[in-house]
Structure 1
Amino acid sequence: MLVQTDDLSGEMAGYAIQQLLDLGVDNVQIVPTVTKKNRPAYLVLIDCEKELLQVVENFLISELYIGGYHLLQAHHVSFDTHLVERTVDLQSEKGKVSAAVAVRVFGSLDQPRGVKVDHDSLGYLCRRIKAELGVELSLKKLQTLVEANVLANLCDKVIKIRL
């Protein structure tokens, strides 16, 4: 579903996302755009099952005062992904920090095409490295380091990394 609106505040956009998710839609994205006469506007993309269309329509009319929408027919292509957990052992001169991390593997487990470590797992690990080892490491650097090592050693349940 594609909805166009040029009368939506940032606060109302956040409210709309949460309300639509609470109604059961699969996903909501709000994209800023510019319309005729250089007016700021939003494109609202709503992914939901046909059974929810009436409920979503009611919300759009009553809360956002939307006069209509575009119903898009799309075919979603899903990649082969797996969610696995690995323990990461980070070793430095000052000691070791170990933590479990959630990893999304793209492709098969025996021939992965890529990996992505869960953001919350990385944040937790980053805070522990600073607190327990006194090592300042940016989240982005930690992500690159952990993902490269996990990808290279995916078969191992424990991934050992030297800082």
Structure 2
Amino acid sequence: MILYLNPGTGLAGDMLLAALLDAGASPDAVRRAVAATGLTGWRLTAERVDAGGLAATRVRVEVDDDATERPAAELAAMAARAGLPLADAALAAIAEAEGAIHGRPAAEVHLHELGGHDTLVDVVGCAAALRDLRVSEVYSAPLPLGGGTVRTRHGVLPVPAPATLALLAGARVRGGGTGETVTPTGAALLRAAGTGYGPPPEMTLAATGYGAGSRVLPDRPNVVVAMLGEPVAQASRQVVLSVNLDDVTGEVLGYVIERALGAGAADAWVTPAVMKKGRPAHVLHVLADPERADRLQELVLAETGGLGLRRAFVDKVALPRHTETVEIHGRPVRVKHGPAGAKPEYDDLVQVAAASGRPLRQLAREALDAL
């Protein structure tokens, strides 16, 4: 799933979380992820509000521990219990940015304004919501930088704050807005998600969410818009190499397939055939990008002893897919997701089977159940 953000008035962690919930993310999935961190004394509520005439969702994070200062390593250790790589990356990015600003290693950073447990809820909550929505790509319109000043533990600082600017390195930004329109938490989440910037990518729109901020603006709704869409399958031009073989063993055919795949073929397979005079044979097919076809042609002819082959251009249509990693019996197993379902990676299952002694088919079911 593709996520496209339109942060017309800015972006904060709670606004992003609200927009994702409004677009269909499960509040229970978010709460379970936050609970997995071991954090106690917190409440997360989502309510429908009127944001300048636009119906939107606003989230409220309340914590009994209202301290705003603590070591970055403490928040990172708690987030790690949730098993969400995006949350880990976002908190690591915050620590690195603060460390660079104050001239100390990230492991020694002591967070001030960002050290509250509400930061943990926002970061882990957004990561859990993105996972629940099965978002694999994130894009955003340019971010408004705001202006003015903000009072911090280190005194009055210009807006955007130094930490925000450090976290926005590589992002596309624009002038606009007053006050702190982009928070460090919002910037860190976009950085951790590998966000691309520009117009919306081509996609089939599936859902839209509106996340409201806490500020009330006099002339417009203070919301971030989250658009979810399915990628549009794109056809790519590829070459199929085909050769008829009636004197090559199955072992050699299997070896050639492995060699071709290792040399960059998109796919390789064998089909049975009957040649002239009723001779049983096989047809070896290799699918490749045009720029790799010549090299793969040489490999196929050299390994099979063929005297020639056929080349045909085809249009390959690849449906969107993404990979998620689960853990069964103490070992990671990658699971590939497509529009029609999910399938565990065979090689990973073989390793778990060898270590555990359990049947391969049982492990495949366990991997799917662990999603």
TM-score scaled by structure 2? Answer: 0.31
Partners of 2:326 and 2:335 within 8 A in 1: yes
Give the secondary structure class of the aligned counterpart of 1:143.
helix
- In the TM superposition, residue 61 of structure 1 has moved relative to its aligned partner by 4.4
Output the CA distance in 1 between the equivalents of 2:284 and 2:319. 25
Alignment correspondent of 2:282: 42
Alignment correspondent of 1:101: 333
Structure 2 counterparts to residues 1-163 of structure 1, below 5 A: 1-88=241-328, 97-107=329-339, 113-130=340-357, 137-147=358-368, 149-150=369-370, 154=371
Output the CA distance in 1 between the equivalents of 2:269 and 2:250. 13
Identity of aligned residues (%): 24
- In the TM superposition, residue 78 of structure 1 has moved relative to its aligned partner by 1.2
Output the CA distance in 1 between the equivalents of 2:346 and 2:355. 14
Output the CA distance in 2 between the equivalents of 1:60 and 1:141. 37
Write out the 4+ residue segments of structure 1 that deviate beyond 6 Å after TM superposition.
none
The amino acid across from 2:334 in the alignment is A
Give the secondary structure class of the aligned counterpart of 1:37.
helix
- In the TM superposition, residue 41 of structure 1 has moved relative to its aligned partner by 0.8
Output the CA distance in 2 between the equivalents of 1:44 and 1:81. 27
Query: Which structure's CA Rg is the greater one?
Result: 2
- In the TM superposition, residue 2 of structure 1 has moved relative to its aligned partner by 1.6
Tell me the number of residue pairs that the alignment of Structure 1 and Structure 2 aligns.
131
Output the CA distance in 2 between the equivalents of 1:53 and 1:74. 13
Q: What's the CA shift string for 1:18-68, capped at 9, x where partnerless?
A: 443454433322223222332121101011222333334434444434333
- In the TM superposition, residue 129 of structure 1 has moved relative to its aligned partner by 4.3
Give the secondary structure class of the aligned counterpart of 1:8.
coil
Alpha-carbon distance change, 128 to 70 in structure 1, aligned in 2, over 3 angstroms: closer
Alpha-carbon distance change, 120 to 72 in structure 1, aligned in 2, over 3 angstroms: same
The amino acid across from 1:13 in the alignment is L
Q: What's the CA shift string for 1:102-121, capped at 9, x where partnerless?
A: 111123xxxxx421112233
Output the CA distance in 2 between the equivalents of 1:76 and 1:43. 20
Give the secondary structure class of the aligned counterpart of 1:53.
helix
Output the CA distance in 2 between the equivalents of 1:80 and 1:64. 34
Give the secondary structure class of the aligned counterpart of 1:12.
helix
Partners of 2:260 and 2:300 within 8 A in 1: no
Alignment correspondent of 1:93: none
> RMSD over aligned Cα, in angstroms?
2.7
Partners of 2:326 and 2:367 within 8 A in 1: no
TM-score scaled by structure 1? Answer: 0.62
Alpha-carbon distance change, 140 to 13 in structure 1, aligned in 2, over 3 angstroms: same
Output the CA distance in 1 between the equivalents of 2:309 and 2:335. 37
Unaligned residue ranges in structure 2 (runs of 5+): 1-240
Partners of 2:325 and 2:332 within 8 A in 1: yes
Output the CA distance in 1 between the equivalents of 2:301 and 2:348. 40
Alpha-carbon distance change, 48 to 121 in structure 1, aligned in 2, over 3 angstroms: closer
